[in-house]
Amino acid sequence: YQLIAQSYIKKEKYKKAIETYEKVIEIQFINLSDTHPDIKESYYQIGNIYCKMDELDKALEFYRKTTITTTTTTTMTDDDNENSDGDEMSDTLLIEKYRNLAEFYERNDNYEHAIEQEQNILIKLEKHLPNIAKQDDLKIIKVEKLIDNHLNINNIRLFVNYLQDFVYIYLTIGDLSLIDNENASIWYEKAFDLHRKLIRYHSLNDNLISIMYYKIGQVYQRYDEIQTAIEQYLDAYNANYQSENKFIFFYEIGYLYKENKNYNEADTWWKKSLSETTNEIIKNILQKKIDSIEDQISSDDENDDNDNIDDNDNNKKKNQISINNKYSKAEMIIHTSNDQLAMAYLELNVKYYKKYIEEQKLLLINDEIMLNDDWINIKINDDFIQFIPDLIFQYKNDYDKDDDDRQNPKKNIVRSYMECGRIALKLKKFADACNYYLQAIETEHLKSNETLRSLLSNNKTGQDDIINNYSKQESQLWINMKMGAYNRNNGHYDASLLNYQKALTYTNDLMIKITLYYEILKLFKISLRSTEDYKQSIVNKINLNTTSIRIYDRLLIYELIIDFMKELYEDNNENNNSEIQKYIDMFYQTQLQTNFIIFDHYEIKMLSFQCIGHVLRYMEDYTETIDYWNEIIKLKQQILSQPIIELINNDESTFIKIYDNTKLYKMNFQQSLKTIANSYEKIAEYYEKLINNTNDNDRWDPQMAISNYENALKFLKKMNNKEKELNDKIQYYEDRIKTLKSNINNVEHNNLIQ
């Protein structure tokens, strides 16, 4: 019946077409729900037919049926009917609806309403273009080449690789959000949903599902949603995780039960954890915890367990959970080499170390002088104190954390103070960290460090005072970078620029230099007092012609340079335009080089920087690092249309649906451009008719028509097809623009004469 109805429409037998669609709807109502999209599509088709019959009221009546259920009554105006989109209708049907309404209004000389409908069409059509296709300086042949090169849509495995990049970026942003106390679960769940769609189509990292369950569990644990966290850890275990670290899932469950005073359950799960590992060091640690918890059960005396947290002290409980989170237990899963260190960190707490310090003091020989615990009354600005711990480390040259001389009480005291300081740093208790570190130094050398004490106890201590106390070149580098980030985040952009300039003088590391240039170029987008010559000199120093710099980092730098130069050279000078075009060409050539895969960037090794994001993360500039990875997402998405992006991030979509729609998007790409040009042409013609048919010249400016012809021309000139029809269209648009501009000049000339 649908085919018969379409046949009647082609023959302009509209009444018979309507009768046939009514039979279609009868059949659909028997087999489908009242609000099924297929029924709504049939209503759309009847509405379109009434448009062709010039019966607008009936057309709007059927369009309205696509937006409400049969059991709902709604009062809607004609404008509502025209512009309301069916909630599940495809853009194709909506475009057809708008086109029919535009043609109806054109036939009835209502050009203003016809323009509105064509503008609705443009909104839908342009949504299906990738952002990169909207750039004035890129021909469509180049855009298509980029799409082919990056999506590899004819090779499912390579297309999966392209999408899997998003999974790793989402995980990275999730980790950063967790560190910065933001909502990490959103990013972890996005990563989980997308990875689950892809894994059956490629031999991807099978353990990643377990890791993601684990990470989501960490988020719920942080917010005390204990039962949900336990469910996530069990899912992580059951996801067939293949690693010697599988014990960690049961350990976490036991830890949660222990924190909630359910010692029997904690004992059960820790024993399960013990059975999952063959590592003797880890087994010994777990066995000690099991012995401790069993003593707790038998004696029911909570004070026997040094790790216990008072139920009434919720802040302490949250801090202890935070300690374990901040020591990144996820690393036990991802970095096998760090298992023992990570497990050892689980044993740390300040209460234990302070007690241990007192025990070690009793073992000191009588003639060895011990300083009193002279706790400093810190007066330094709260914002600056975060930069002091690194400075104290510089003074602690003699301290070696790997020194295993456990028979030396003084060394044990120093080591314990340092560990207390490390925990305080993780809790962002910078004043406590400074005091612990200072105690370590002064215990080591048996004398007060007046320089540090003066720095900490002076409320006038400023940034320069802190920076000037760093002596090593590497320390000068990092303190200037950290101060630069601090000043940038607080709106002190000129001071931030000075910090980054100084940092550049302390390093020859290529990746660190590129990161500094990246930050400086971003500052150039903000109003700064730097001269144009200085800004140009920075651009001239940046050399991106090396494979040592990752492709997407080069692209980010090129984008910043292009934006900066467009702003710098606003005079449209030919030489300046040539310089800008040079960078645009380099940007495009870099895009073509490869489909950048970033799987290897998920794991970061200390001081092994593979990208700008790694340097920013090492600086603990987490907000900026998140911004960086979001910029990478935009770079990867610029070859996709908005509906495809939404489909990728829709937890109900499937890989096949993403794949099929992406193929369709690529196949229809050039036709979409022609249709967009046609809509701009129609709008321009409607404006011309409004100008010719009315005397309201103030409202209907010829420039409106010119602007739309220029837009149509812009899209057609992007096309690489040299067929006669296309060239004729281009010539037609150019002639209309020339004629309209000539008319404007004539009117202005006549007005001057008058």
Strand locations in 484-606 (E): none
CATH of 669-753, one of 1.20.58, 1.10.3470, 1.10.287, 1.10.20: 1.20.58
Q: pLDDT at residue 705 above 70? A: yes
Quick one: what percent of the chain has pLDDT higher than 70?
80
Per-state percent for the chain, helix, strand, coil, to nearest 5: 70, 0, 30
Q: Write down the pLDDT at residue 302.
A: 46
Residues of each domain in the chain carrying CATH 1.25.40.10: 2-128, 206-351
Long-range CB contact pairs, 175-183, < 8 A, 24+: 175/215, 175/330, 176/617, 176/622, 176/625, 176/626, 176/629, 177/626, 178/215, 178/218, 178/219, 178/222, 178/325, 179/326, 179/622, 180/622, 180/623, 180/626, 183/219
Q: Write down the pLDDT at residue 720.
A: 65
Instruction: State how far the alpha carbon of 213 is from the alpha carbons of 184, 191, 192, 274, 318, in Å.
Output: 13, 11, 8, 21, 21
pLDDT digits (tens, 9 = 90+) for 524-554: 888 666 677 777 888 888 888 777 888 889 9
Q: What angle do CA 598, 604, 608 make, to 5 degrees?
A: 100
Give dist(CA 635, CA 117) in Å, integer.
32
Q: Write down the pLDDT at residue 118.
A: 94
Q: Which two tokens stand for residue 12?
A: 């302009």
Sequence-distant (6+) residues with CB within 8 A of 91 are 124, 127, 128, 643
Q: Which two tokens stand for residue 518?
A: 């990246």
Average pLDDT over residues 699-716: 87
Q: Which two tokens stand for residue 204?
A: 């991807």
Q: pLDDT at residue 714 above 90? A: no
Report which of 531, 526, 530, 524 is spatially closest to residue 557, judged by C-alpha positions. Answer: 524
Give dist(CA 93, CA 100) in Å, integer.
11
SS3 33: coil
Q: Which residues pair with 608 in a beta bridge?
A: 605
Q: Write down the pLDDT at residue 351.
A: 65
pLDDT class of 215 with cuts at 50, 70, 90: confident
Helix (DSSP H) and strand (DSSP E) numbers for the chain: 37, 0
pLDDT digits (tens, 9 = 90+) for 238-281: 887 777 778 888 988 988 888 888 889 999 999 998 898 888 87
- Dihedral of the CA atoms 633, 637, 642, 643 (nearest 10)? -100
More confident residue, 432 or 119: 119
pTM > 0.85: yes or no: no
Quick one: what percent of the chain has pLDDT higher than 90?
22
Query: Any idea which of 425-429, 643-647, 737-741 has the lowest mean pLDDT?
Result: 425-429
CB-side neighbour CA atoms (13 Å) of 186: 6
Residues of each domain in the chain carrying CATH 1.20.58: 669-753
More confident residue, 298 or 349: 298
pLDDT digits (tens, 9 = 90+) for 162-194: 998 899 899 999 988 887 666 888 999 999 899
More confident residue, 400 or 688: 688
Burial class (CB in 10 A: 0-12, 13-18, 19+), 84: middle
pLDDT class of 574 with cuts at 50, 70, 90: low
SS3 534: helix
pLDDT class of 683 with cuts at 50, 70, 90: very high
Contact 413, 404 (CB under 8 A): no
Q: pLDDT at residue 41 above 60? A: yes
Q: pLDDT at residue 69 above 60? A: no
Q: Write down the pLDDT at residue 696.
A: 60
pLDDT class of 368 with cuts at 50, 70, 90: low
Give dist(CA 330, CA 325) in Å, integer.
8
Q: Which two tokens stand for residue 689?
A: 């008719």
Report which of 597, 599, 517 is spatially closest to residue 551, judged by C-alpha positions. Answer: 597
Q: What angle do CA 645, 651, 653 make, to 5 degrees?
A: 70
Q: pLDDT at residue 321 above 50? A: no
- What is the overall mean pLDDT for the chain? 79
Query: Any idea which of 47-51, 162-166, 310-314 has the lowest mean pLDDT?
Result: 310-314
Q: pLDDT at residue 365 above 70? A: no
Give dist(CA 657, CA 668) in Å, integer.
16
CATH architecture of the domain with residue range 206-351: Alpha Horseshoe (1.25)
CATH architecture of the domain with residue range 2-128: Alpha Horseshoe (1.25)
Give dist(CA 80, CA 68) in Å, integer.
12
Q: Which residues pair with 605 in a beta bridge?
A: 608
Q: pLDDT at residue 724 above 90? A: no
Token pair 């040009």 is found at 677
Q: Write down the pLDDT at residue 70.
A: 37
Contact 516, 500 (CB under 8 A): yes
Sequence-distant (6+) residues with CB within 8 A of 75 are none
166 φ/ψ sector (left φ>0, alpha ψ -120 to 50, else beta) = alpha
Sequence-distant (6+) residues with CB within 8 A of 340 are 279, 281, 282
Q: pLDDT at residue 513 above 90? A: yes
Sequence-distant (6+) residues with CB within 8 A of 97 are 44, 47, 48, 63
Give dist(CA 389, CA 430) in Å, integer.
8
What is the per-residue burial (b if ≥16 Cβ within 10 Å, else e) of 517-538?
bbbbbbbbeeeeebeeeebeeb
Burial class (CB in 10 A: 0-12, 13-18, 19+), 135: middle
Q: Write down the pLDDT at residue 203.
A: 67
Q: pLDDT at residue 205 above 80? A: no
Q: pLDDT at residue 421 above 90? A: no
Q: pLDDT at residue 680 above 90? A: yes
Report which of 173, 168, 195, 194 is spatially closest to residue 183, judged by C-alpha positions. Answer: 173
pLDDT class of 283 with cuts at 50, 70, 90: confident
Concatenated DSSP letters of 245-295 = GGHHHHHHHHHHHHHTT-HHHHHHHHHHHHHT---HHHHHHHHHHHHHHHH
Contact 447, 438 (CB under 8 A): no
Q: Write down the pLDDT at residue 418.
A: 84
Q: Write down the pLDDT at residue 399.
A: 46
Report which of 732, 528, 588, 508 is spatially closest to residue 146, judged by C-alpha positions. Answer: 588
SS3 319: helix
Give dist(CA 584, CA 576) in Å, integer.
13
